[in-house]
Copies of this chain bind each other. A is one copy, B any other.
Amino acid sequence: MPETARQPRGEPHDGPFLGDFVCFSIYSASLAFNRVYKPLLAEMGLTYPQYLVMVVLWEGDDRTVGGIGEVLSLDSSTLTPLLKRLEGMGHLTRARDSHDERVVRVRLTPAGRNLRLKARVVPGCILEATGMSMDELRRLQGEIDALRRNLEAANG
């Protein structure tokens, strides 16, 4: 699918070209990562987005829905049902803040905190699957983050 392009920046052209394919590469890599994570996380009964929320909470408990959404760039229409599922599994509680009833505070249960132990093997497996060194990954991550920031800036 990759095909080198020769057009100058911003001008129309006949076919698809590089700008598209960086996106396709990322899209496709994202799906590929998901397929690697799925069997690992299935042992904990988690999906990847659910795992991300748990990681965020392990890093810092007692957050609001919006606070979690800020870290993950997801909004309440995605998070509310996801959090309800995690609540249903007994990993966290959702409760309105008594000082501001608009806010829902999300807190880990002991079971949710405990799940972190089971999750300890995950990053090593993922690292293994990438087939890359930590240094390579660190550098690559930096570049992708820079790209994401540019995209977010361009989007307003």
Contacts and interface: CB of A to CB of B under 8 A. Distances in A.
Interface of A: 1-2, 4-5, 7, 9-33, 35-37, 48, 52, 55-56, 58-59, 71-73, 116, 119-132, 134, 137-138, 140-141, 143-145, 147-148, 150-155
Contacts of A141: 2, 18, 21-22, 25
A99 to B, nearest CB: 27
A32 B149 CA distance: 9
A69 B132 CA distance: 27
A145 B2 contact: yes
A136 to B, nearest CB: 8
A28 B124 contact: no
B59 A148 contact: no
Contact of A148 (B16, B29, B150, B153): B29
B52 A124 contact: no
A30 B36 contact: no
Nearest to A1: B71
A124 B12 contact: yes
20 contacts: A9-B128, A11-B124, A12-B120, A13-B120, A14-B116, A18-B127, A18-B137, A19-B127, A20-B122, A23-B126, A26-B33, A27-B30, A28-B72, A32-B148, A32-B152, A35-B155, A36-B151, A128-B154, A129-B150, A132-B150
